[in-house]
Amino acid sequence: MSEPIRVLVTGAAGQIAYSLLYSIGNGSVFGKDQPIVLVLLDITPMMTVLDGVLMELQDCALPLLKDVIATDKEEVAFKDLDVAVLVGSMPRREGMERKDLLKANVKIFKSQGAALDKYAKKSVKVIVVGNPANTNCLTASKSAPSIPKENFSCLTRLDHNRAKSQIAIKLGVTADDVKNVIIWGNHSSTQYPDVNHAKVKLHGKEVGVYEAVKDDSWLKGEFIATVQQRGAAVIKARKLSSAMSAAKAIADHIRDIWFGTPEGEFVSMGVISDGNSYGVPEDLLYSFPVVIKNKTWKFVEGLPINDFSREKMDLTAKELAEEKETAFEFLSSA
């Protein structure tokens, strides 16, 4: 057995964490021979609920869980971390302006970034899920100057999986027959799900998605809108936001960081835009296609971008630049 790794999940009493913690504990994220010390952080009013989650994790009798620690203190939670999954954030309330949401979250992610800087290992991998995820991730990274900014990523894998699945359903194949879809930009309704470079296995051979679907207006219209609005559609139906699918996407995202992406495949994640070749402004936390090897991501280079894509990629970059500006006004005063 290898040495245990320390993994933190924040918002640990919430419903995404409730779907995620078992996957982490049973070895399907970090591998079946990787022992784990699991650290659960939430706010003080949630500690009673968190105790219940702790009891359930104990009752799962998972051999890989060496210890489970439930806390409301950042100095306990962030100590010596190998991986931090920042799920907890201030949710948007009825009648709340996006600006108010940003302000509340800047405070949280500035504090958690500073705690990472002070207590975590410098090699820590930080995955931000709490919305607005891209800007929260940038805030945390800026607040942790001693941790490489490449170590921070935000979740757009749920959007990626949604796009993959929509194509698979349309063509009557399974989701793993579809690869190399891309989510560009913000994890918001301006994101751009792009299948210009995606491939699908049909009758034993790989073909481009546009060629396979043979319905350009669907691909440029309804398909994009469905993926962009999927989160809202789930809330409307369930009266709760996506939890099972979000937890599955987080597990996929972290597993790919840990073990790398399969040969010939790329995935989408929000990463720092510095040095990209797609005309996205520097210093934004933007979702790109990446390949991962030795726990290090690289941009997928050289994909041709048509005018339709360009416009959509610029639109979501503009939204991210505006969010960043608002957040940084608060950051200096927070």
Residues carrying an active site annotation: 187
Is 105 known as a binding-site position?
yes
CA distance 34 to 24: 10
**Are 152 and 137 in contact, with CB atoms under 8 Å apart?**
yes
Other beta carbons within 10 angstroms of residue 328's beta carbon come to: 17
Residue 130 annotated as binding site: yes
Question: Is 92 known as a binding-site position?
Answer: yes
- For residues 272-308, one letter each, b for 16 or more C-beta atoms within 10 angstroms of the residue's C-beta and e for the rest, the string is bbeebebebeeebbbbbbbbbeeeebebbeebebeee
Max intra-chain CA distance, the chain: 59
Q: What is the CA radius of gyration of the chain?
A: 19
DSSP alpha helix (H) spans, 87-205:
98-119, 133-142, 157-171
> Burial, 45: exposed, middle or buried (Cβ in 10 Å; 0-12, 13-18, 19+)?
exposed
162 is in an annotated binding site: yes
* Residue 230 counted as an annotated binding residue: no
For 257, what's the count of Cα atoms within 13 Å in the CB-facing half-sphere? 27
What is the C-alpha to C-alpha distance for residues 171 and 213, in angstroms, rounded to an integer?
7
From start to end of the chain, where are the E strands? 5-10, 36-41, 65-71, 83-86, 125-128, 152-154, 178-179, 182-184, 192-194, 199-202, 205-208, 267-272, 285-293, 296-299
Q: Which residues are annotated as a binding site for NAD(+)?
A: 42, 105, 129-131
Q: Which residues are annotated as a binding site?
A: 42, 92, 98, 105, 129-131, 162
Q: Which residues are annotated as a binding site for substrate?
A: 92, 98, 131, 162
